[in-house]
Structure 1
Amino acid sequence: MGSRYDSRTTVFSPEGRLFQVEYAMQAIDNAGACVGLLAGDGVVIAAEKKATSKLLAPSKTSEKLYMIDDHVACAVAGLTSDANVLISYLRRVAQNYKLQYQEPQPLEQLIMRVCDLKQGYTQFGGQRPFGVSFLYAGWDRHYGFQLYQSNPSGNYGGWKATAIGANNQAATSLLKKEYKDDCSIEEALELAVKVLNKTMDSVTPSADKMEFSVLRMDKDTGKLVQHVMHDDEVQELLDKIIAEEKEAEANAEAKAA
């Protein structure tokens, strides 16, 4: 039934569906998982790295995490080339606003601009939707720390915790069980590791397969700080979670015995 209505982004099926947009979302479900958690004192975004070959040349650029402005970072799941186009657009919009008003652009206003662009690509012939979803982590003086998610249709929403990419339903289920309001950044990081361990295809998770970015307010300077964790920091966090899980399993076995 769908093949009669999926050749154009502008054609609705009798059920009111746009199949090209749904296909784009299915492509995102095959990408590496990304997780975002809103903590009481910051925002944590974590992502699974797919390209981990030892033959790849060392690079300072991230595969999944990007800086948009001093107050906004994002994680992407889907086609990286599509993401690059939208990230360049977001950076231009943010800088134009700062040039005009001499202050950072409010986070939701910035996301609305890029979502308007994404929605436009679903309603004109000869164009296809962007095959990428975003998690945005940021801060502004109006609402403090915020976490948003957007998809190829141009729809977006604010979240306390959410996941995109591969196995996102399993990740969301775990977040519903274990996420707590006003948790600390340390607790959010630990939960992010647990979620990635559950969603990643790898049997042996390691630091080189994960990326973490923390957005927080520096207590000494009062300025916003974005920190992308190094591999040794990620490995230390991973070792801690694995040790806790083994201890929990041992205690459960002891109780059962």
Structure 2
Amino acid sequence: MMDRRGDDAGYDRSLTMFSPEGRLYQVEYALEAVRRGTLCIGLKSKAGAAIITRKRFTKLMDTSTIQKIFRMDEHIGCAIAGLHADSRILVDYARVQCQVHRLTYNEPVRVPTITRKLADIKQQYTQHGGVRPFGSALLIIGVDPDGTPRVMTTSPSGTFSGWKGTTMGANSEDARTKLNEELNDEMSIDDIIKLGIKILKDSTDEDFEDTSLQIAVVTSEEKLFKVLSQEEVKKYL
């Protein structure tokens, strides 16, 4: 893909140059980095929202140093797909913006508000020379101050969307199809977690253990984002 020939050759050397087809190849390369990431599943019901994903590591790695899920605020968190370093910078930015909102308005930030701020900063990195797009997508879950559960995503291009359930990373299309068939609004938190684990297993070629599985939840009643411990994850497995 990097070795281009013909009319579109060379258009991937500059971030701000469109190809004759109207494409920005550097942004497409960032999207490809996301597609090669491990599968993440985000889903919600009236009871709340959950993220189910898995960490990829080798036997010699310390698994406690690998994070796929991050907390942004008391009621908001996210899973990442793509380049971890880029994702970490975006998460730090989101944490600051959440606190700025609290100090300015004396209330928790809404999930669509912080998602839009992240999408805006990503879009800025697609229109300036001397920088490159963030090779990272974020799957964000949370509960708004009015008790509305949210599942939202941002892409390297700066687009953002809200979902009842979605996936990102490797094999995301197959997993999204299965999610569309089985998810409904009346499911409990336990039900959506079990559904997410089932779809993750069915859509992953490799066998995985409880040490690689990560689950985070936020309920409509408590409005607190929580990453489950390994003991809690084992119960669901």
User: Does the pair score TM above 0.5?
Assistant: yes
- Show the counterpart of 1:107: 111
Amino acid in structure 2 at the alignment position of 1:56: M
Q: Structure 2: where are the runs of 5+ without partners?
A: 1-5
- Show the counterpart of 1:241: none
Indicate how the Cα distance of structure 1 residues 237 and 216 shifts in structure 2: closer, same or farther if over 3 A, else same. Answer: same
Amino acid in structure 2 at the alignment position of 1:24: A
Indicate how the Cα distance of structure 1 residues 225 and 52 shifts in structure 2: closer, same or farther if over 3 A, else same. Answer: farther
Three-state SS of the structure 2 residue aligned to 1:4 is coil
| 1:14-48 deviations in Å (ceiling 9; x for gaps) | 11111111111111111111100012111010111
| 1:66-119 deviations in Å (ceiling 9; x for gaps) | 000011110000101000111111111111111111111122111111111100
Out of 15, 19, 22, which is 1:9 matched to?
15
CA contact (8 A) 2:147 2:223 kept: no
Amino acid in structure 2 at the alignment position of 1:166: A
- Show the counterpart of 2:130: 126
- Show the counterpart of 1:225: 224
**Inter-partner Cα distance in structure 2 for 1:158 and 1:58:** 31
**Inter-partner Cα distance in structure 1 for 2:141 and 2:182:** 20
**Inter-partner Cα distance in structure 2 for 1:33 and 1:166:** 5
Query: Displaced runs of 4+ in structure 1, greater than 6 A?
Result: none
- Show the counterpart of 1:156: 160
**Inter-partner Cα distance in structure 2 for 1:143 and 1:216:** 9
CA contact (8 A) 2:147 2:220 kept: no
Amino acid in structure 1 at the alignment position of 2:53: A
Three-state SS of the structure 1 residue aligned to 2:44 is strand
Moved more, 186-195 or 141-150: 141-150
Shift of 1:214: 0.9
Out of 139, 154, 169, which is 2:143 matched to?
139
Shift of 1:52: 5.1
Indicate how the Cα distance of structure 1 residues 58 and 11 shifts in structure 2: closer, same or farther if over 3 A, else same. Answer: closer
Moved more, 138-147 or 87-96: 138-147
CA contact (8 A) 2:30 2:156 kept: yes
Three-state SS of the structure 2 residue aligned to 1:205 is coil
**Inter-partner Cα distance in structure 2 for 1:58 and 1:17:** 39
Three-state SS of the structure 2 residue aligned to 1:28 is helix
Shift of 1:236: 2.6
Shift of 1:58: 6.1
Amino acid in structure 1 at the alignment position of 2:214: E
Q: RMSD across aligned C-alpha pairs, in angstroms?
A: 1.6
**Inter-partner Cα distance in structure 2 for 1:58 and 1:31:** 17
- Show the counterpart of 2:204: 200
The TM-score with structure 2 as length reference comes to: 0.92
Out of 155, 178, 185, which is 2:189 matched to?
185
Three-state SS of the structure 1 residue aligned to 2:108 is coil
**Inter-partner Cα distance in structure 2 for 1:46 and 1:184:** 15
CA contact (8 A) 1:68 1:87 kept: yes
Size of the alignment, in residue pairs? 231
CA contact (8 A) 2:118 2:154 kept: no
Shift of 1:126: 1.2
**Inter-partner Cα distance in structure 2 for 1:57 and 1:205:** 16
- Show the counterpart of 1:254: none
- Show the counterpart of 1:20: 26
Amino acid in structure 1 at the alignment position of 2:227: V
- Show the counterpart of 1:63: 67
Q: Structure 1: where are the runs of 5+ without partners?
A: 239-257
Asked which structure has the greater CA Rg, the reply is 1
CA contact (8 A) 2:138 2:155 kept: yes
CA contact (8 A) 2:149 2:220 kept: no
Three-state SS of the structure 1 residue aligned to 2:224 is strand
CA contact (8 A) 1:52 1:209 kept: no
Out of 40, 43, 55, which is 1:37 matched to?
43
- Show the counterpart of 1:213: 216
